[in-house]
A = this chain, B = another copy of it.
Amino acid sequence: MKILVTGGAGYIGSHTTLALLEAGYEVVVLDNLCNSSDAALHAVEAICGKSAWMIRGDVCDRPLLDRIFREHQIDAVLHFAGLKAVGESVRKPLEYYETNVGGSITLCQAMAAAGVFRLVFSSSATVYGEPEEMPIREDFPTGNPTNPYGQSKLIVENVLRDLSLAEPRWSIALLRYFNPIGAHTSGHMGEDPNGIPNNLVPYISQVAVGSLRELSIFGNDYPTADGTGVRDYIHVVDLADGHLKALQSISERTGIHTWNLGTGDGYSVLQVLHAFEQACGRPVPYRMMPRRAGDIAESFADASKAAKELGWKATRNLQDMVADTWRWQSNHPNGYSG
């Protein structure tokens, strides 16, 4: 089977591309490299000895998509391409809606025109908004995400749901990611954000290697064990594996299906920080700051639906995640450009 992976040079996309190649799939990567590097695909090749077709281009470019579907016999699409920085989305909402919503619509139109109806979509636990209870199940109502990034994910979910109602040939997986961290165990693939990282673990990593001075922790008065926010962190290699399982599942049935991809365990910011300090053997300075608007106290998955329906379960724990992150970060303090 040949899979089109949009955003396949990005953090989750590249780990999934590796997993696909290792599992024997052929892979075509479409990536505009606006927040990723083709060095990630060189690392993929070095690790598994196989390579993906790399096409540099944009998921909003319909003629390019048509060409890809004409030149490759694509069986399914894994759609990672998108903008993902929450804070930036508040400042540049049109770019987020154009890329994330517009790109998804354009991709689906090109797929339908080419007769390709299998799609795995990178959604996010942010679509739940502020759930009333934990853990979060897939049948919880979707909330009103407080930023354009989250809105764009929810809009695409709803578009895909309408699409599936209109055209029963579609097989669609909505994968709601919790908080992907970690890196490939080789230490040669990992997260390589442009500029100042937006997420906790890349930020901690850069403090640990000395690129940034200290970590800001936003809020230590949440109703959690130590007062800092609790999230469900999931190892990116587990997450990649979840995509393969979802792909297999939708290859056997049509309709639209939603799965949480998380471990089911919540860890606080301080727990992650201390685990990281243990892994890297040095202190990570931090400063307590007031809560950030839009943050919730805790968020963790009920991961049982994916376990039951996909036979998938995260197998890597927090220690694995921080150890693998640290290996990547200390090998490559400047990411792929180093």
- Contacts from A to B (Cβ < 8 Å): 90-94, 97-98, 101-102, 105-106, 108-109, 112, 148, 151, 155, 158-159, 162-163, 165-166
15 pairs across A/B with beta carbons < 8 Å? A90-B162, A90-B165, A90-B166, A93-B159, A93-B166, A94-B105, A94-B159, A94-B163, A97-B105, A97-B162, A98-B105, A102-B105, A148-B162, A151-B158, A155-B155
Picked from B94, B98, B112, the residue with its CB within 8 Å of the CB of A94 is: B112
User: What chain B residues lie within 8 Å of A155 (beta carbons)?
Assistant: 101, 155
User: What chain B residues lie within 8 Å of A163 (beta carbons)?
Assistant: 93-94
Copy tally for this chain in the complex stands at 2
Question: In the complex the two chains form, what is the Cα distance from A162 to B93 in whole Å?
Answer: 6
The reply to whether A98 and B93 contact each other, CB–CB distance below 8 Å, is no
Closest B residue to A147 by CB, please name it: B162
Question: In the complex the two chains form, what is the Cα distance from A102 to B148 in whole Å?
Answer: 15
Q: Using known A-B contacts A102-B102, A151-B158, A151-B162, determine if residue A109 contacts B94 with beta carbons closer than 8 Å.
A: yes
- The residue in A94, A98, A163 that gathers the most chain B C-beta atoms within 10 A of its C-beta is A94
User: What chain B residues lie within 8 Å of A93 (beta carbons)?
Assistant: 159, 162-163, 165-166
Interface of A is mostly: helix
- In the complex, how many angstroms separate the beta carbon of A220 from the nearest chain B beta carbon? 28
Question: In the complex the two chains form, what is the Cα distance from A91 to B90 in whole Å?
Answer: 33
The reply to whether A91 and B151 contact each other, CB–CB distance below 8 Å, is no
The reply to whether B105 and A109 contact each other, CB–CB distance below 8 Å, is no
- The residue in A91, A97, A166 that gathers the most chain B C-beta atoms within 10 A of its C-beta is A97
User: What chain B residues lie within 8 Å of A90 (beta carbons)?
Assistant: 162, 165-166
Closest B residue to A141 by CB, please name it: B144
Closest B residue to A163 by CB, please name it: B93
- The residue in A90, A91, A101, A112 that gathers the most chain B C-beta atoms within 10 A of its C-beta is A101
Q: Which 8 A-B pairs rank lowest in CB-CB distance, beginning with the nearest?
A: A93-B162, A148-B162, A102-B102, A98-B105, A97-B105, A97-B159, A93-B166, A93-B163
Question: In the complex the two chains form, what is the Cα distance from A101 to B162 in whole Å?
Answer: 14
